[in-house]
Amino acid sequence: MHPRLFPEIPGSQFISFYPMDRRRGEHKNWYKVPMPERQRQMQDHGEIGRRYAGKVRQIISGSIGFDDWEWGVDLFADDPGAWRRVIDIDLTAVIDGTRLAVRAMRRAGNGGVIVNLASLIGLYPMAAAPVYAAAKAGVVHFTRSLASLAGDCGIRVNAICPELVDTPLALAMGEEQMAALRASQSVLTPEEVAAWVVRLVEDDSRAGAIVQITKAEGGIYVE
């Protein structure tokens, strides 16, 4: 108990802090989500956190009743390489790819549609993967910021935010885990995600639109 009440602060080179709350504003309330979905989200949360075992140390401080936030999270690490790779792959590469596509479409002069891949985690904070969440949130807001291209040159940029998708990458969670998620209808198929990509491409009225895709609710446009 003593180490939990009086934790030893690591002498790490890199430190990050952020507050957390499962209620955000008037409409986003994790406590109102059905229990099976809450369990699935916590399971995903834990799986992502375990990827950083031994690389990032986390200290959580509860603040319920003392602050507007439920708790605070401190992250400590000596090697920023993993964080930088996440940003490079999940945000910088998306920005570069979009810029190249817009440049080519402008030269062609026929307009076009770009659908960026974000993530459900880009819409909600995730203590287990804050850098990944920040990168995907960056994709969301980068996409929204390009909505004016539709009027300027007929290029629409949209993004999808799917929850866990049944792909070879997801198999890193383990075959048994994936089998359980499939059985409980808690994981998307690539076809379900692709269907929304096609829908965005075909809908000329959407510019800068963001679609949240979950097994439970399907696709929902988010503001």
In terms of Cα–Cα distance, which of 223, 24, 63, 50 is closest to 127? 50
CATH of domain 2-77: 3.30.70.1030
Residue-level length of the chain: 223
What residue ranges do the domains of the chain occupy?
A: 2-77, 81-222
From CA 210, how far away is CA 21, in angstroms rounded? Answer: 23
Q: Give the integer Cα–Cα distance in Å for 220 and 223.
A: 10
Distance CA 156, CA 112 (A): 6
Looking at domain 81-222, its CATH superfamily turns out to be NAD(P)-binding Rossmann-like Domain (3.40.50.720)
Pair 123, 161: CB distance under 8 Å: yes
pLDDT, tens digit, for every residue of 5-20? 777 788 887 777 777 7
Contact 168, 178 (CB under 8 A): no
**Per-residue pLDDT tens digits for 141-198:** 999 999 999 999 999 999 999 988 888 776 666 677 777 777 777 788 899 999 999 9
* Token reading at 215: 């097994």
Question: What's the predicted TM-score (pTM) here?
Answer: 0.65
